[in-house]
Amino acid sequence: MLESEYQEQNRFFLNMGPQHPSTHGVLLIVLEMEGEYVLDPQPVLGFIHRMHEKMGESRPCPGFMPNTARMDYVCALPYNHGYVSLIERKVGIEVPKRAEYIRVITSELNRIASHLLWLGAYLLDLGAFTPILYGFDDREHILDILESVTGSRLTYCYYRFGGVYQDIDDKFVEATRAFIKRLRKRYTIYEKLVTKNIIFIKRTENIGIVSPDMALRYGITGPNLRGSGIAYDVRKNEPYSVYPEFDFEIPVGEQGDCLDRYMVRVREIEQSLRIIEQALDRLPDGPVRSKVPKNIKLSPGDCNFAVEAARGELSYYLVGDGTSTPYRLKVRVPSYSNLSCLPELGRGILLPDLVSILGSFDLVIPEMDR
Amino acid sequence: MDKIIKDFKGYFIDQGFDAIETDHERRGFHLEVVLDANQVRKFAETAYELGFYLVFVAGFHVRPDEENDTGNSGLEVVYQFARYDRQYRMKARASVPNNKKIPSISDIYQGANWHERETRDFFGVIFDGHPNLKPLLLSEEDADFHPLLKEETKLKSLKEISWTSEAPKVAEKEPETGTSS
């Protein structure tokens, strides 16, 4: 028997998902396999597609606010932030300083919650059960804090055009400070449990290396890009809100493997804590919402606003036509571009490594499918 | 910063593209480029050489321009590019010719592969040279259903949805005030 015939006979297709535990939602990956090696992984999207863009184009712009939280439900506040900032830029609404500070504090808290959830879920993918319990324990504190001001635990709709829905009180500030103190104490636990764990390192080091050129060709952003050593963060690169007023660093990795992506996210938690601390120290007084027209008219012309969500660059692109309903609303979500490199990245690797790569990308499926 | 912006603009104009500088504060990008359908690939190649990454590919639907014979399918494709190393974002727009075909850039920017499939799903634009132009977000049975195409009555011409030269201050002219929710 010829070798090519032998290989042909040993190839088979394997459906990973849409209910596979390591895809964190309804993502199907059709794998062409040879033994335990993956030859061609092809993601199949659209299982939870809801056509958010059409909804954005068929109602006046305030009506789209709740939708923004239902794309990336794990880190919804930056999605709120991008949309309100887009309309504010388009219409020319000034935002009070205190409101911007509150936006930054709550967005960063949400980012930490997202990274903690990812940390637990990723380790669960790799076969470690315990870290998710610690991660969820810490995340619960953030959800409680955010619930006290936003009224919801996951799908927030807290920001408004020209400000936020309601002011934060002393209790919120106190609880946030207590949380910062608590989380810093927990670092050592995570370090002992995960970062220095030899099994974890073996499963992630030198696995799924994303080169800078590959990142550029696919438009990869966020921690997945920074793991490859490129210090690109919309908060620094294209500053918005009051981020330029804070002192924080952009953690980067070295070679872009799964371990680098893990380390970048873990170090980002500390940077987010630093931003929150500075914002609480310098929180200005004043109103949290400016007067805006009841009937917001979007003038003709297009407008773009990019923010840094927990998974990378989130871009809203809007075309106005003089009415209050957007003529066209495009949402560029980070996970969509991030995952699109999988067919190239996952060629010729072992199946368990594919699980490790998928987890390290921090995918949120409702965000990709929109 | 200004020098860098002029550099890119000058470079693109030298390469034969119609590039206009835009106000980043107001619009969110620094450069706007209007392309012919046959310039799309050359533009993508130039952007890749300069080190831009692809942010997204999207479409939108306008009323066809009666005076324009070749580009009056009413479909427009928008490409957005940005940089990792500095603050620079640009938008390129191309009108899709009558046959609804526009060259694919998915071999230059592999990330465009999914964005182009999505644009085909929503608008029915055919990307010439795309390796796998199957429905991505919509189901295979709905290959001919394009949800973002607008009804005839709601269509506006490209001119009606473009920036006018004077600064838009619609919000301040509105007499009634209140809070939106």
Residues A211-238 pLDDT 10s: 999 999 998 999 999 999 898 999 888 8
Chain A CB contacts of B78 below 8 Å: 317, 330
Q: Give the integer Cα–Cα distance in Å for B118 and A157.
A: 27
Closest residue to A320, CB basis, from B136, B161, B169: B161
**pLDDT score, position B179:** 45
Q: Give the integer Cα–Cα distance in Å for A294 and A278.
A: 34
Task: Chain B: give the shortest CA distance to residue A191, in Å.
Answer: 31
**pLDDT score, position A317:** 92
**pLDDT score, position B180:** 45
Q: Scanning every residue of chain B, which has its alpha carbon at the shortest distance from the alpha carbon of A303?
A: B27
Closest residue to A216, CB basis, from B53, B89, B136: B53
Chain A CB contacts of B164 below 8 Å: 299-301
User: Chain B interface, mutation test: which of A44, A210, A237, A291, most B Cβ atoms within 10 Å?
Assistant: A237
Mean pLDDT of B88-111: 88
Q: Is A93 or B9 the better-scoring residue by pLDDT?
A: A93
Q: Is A278 or B68 the better-scoring residue by pLDDT?
A: A278
Terminal Cα-to-Cα distance of chain B (whole angstroms): 38
**pLDDT score, position B4:** 52
Contact B120, B57 (CB under 8 A): no
Provide the residue type at A89 as one letter. Answer: R
Residues of chain A with pLDDT under 70: 1-8, 20-23
Q: Scanning every residue of chain A, which has its alpha carbon at the shortest distance from the alpha carbon of B147?
A: A54
Q: Do B28 and A89 touch (CB under 8 A)?
A: yes
In this predicted structure, the answer to whether residue B21 has a pLDDT above a threshold of 90 is no
Terminal Cα-to-Cα distance of chain A (whole angstroms): 49
Q: Do B78 and A289 touch (CB under 8 A)?
A: no
Residues 6 or more apart whose Cβ sits within 8 Å of residue B4: B86, B88
Q: In what order do the strands lie in the sheet with A349-350?
A: A11-16, A28-34, A37-44, A349-350
- Local structure of A94: helix, strand or coil: coil
**pLDDT score, position A6:** 65
User: Chain B interface, mutation test: which of A319, A338, A339, most B Cβ atoms within 10 Å?
Assistant: A319
How many contacts (CB atoms, under 8 Å) link A and B?
A: 171
The alpha carbon dihedral of B81, B83, B84, B87 has a sign of negative
Closest residue to A337, CB basis, from B58, B85, B111: B111
Q: Which of A177-186, B59-68, B136-145, B167-176 has the highest mean pLDDT?
A: A177-186
Residues 6 or more apart whose Cβ sits within 8 Å of residue A11: A32, A33, A34, A39
Provide the residue type at A45 as one letter. Answer: L
Task: Chain B: give the shortest CA distance to residue A346, in Å.
Answer: 15
Quickly state the pLDDT bin for B178 (edges 50, 70, 90). very low
Task: Chain A: give the shortest CA distance to residue B14, in Å.
Answer: 24
Quickly state the pLDDT bin for B9 (edges 50, 70, 90). confident
Q: Do A300 and B80 touch (CB under 8 A)?
A: no
**pLDDT score, position A79:** 92
**pLDDT score, position A181:** 92
Chain A CB contacts of B28 below 8 Å: 86, 89, 303-306
User: Chain B interface, mutation test: which of A304, A344, A370, most B Cβ atoms within 10 Å?
Assistant: A304
ipTM metric:
0.85
Q: Give the integer Cα–Cα distance in Å for A223 and A258.
A: 11
Contact A113, A139 (CB under 8 A): yes
Q: Scanning every residue of chain A, which has its alpha carbon at the shortest distance from the alpha carbon of B178?
A: A294
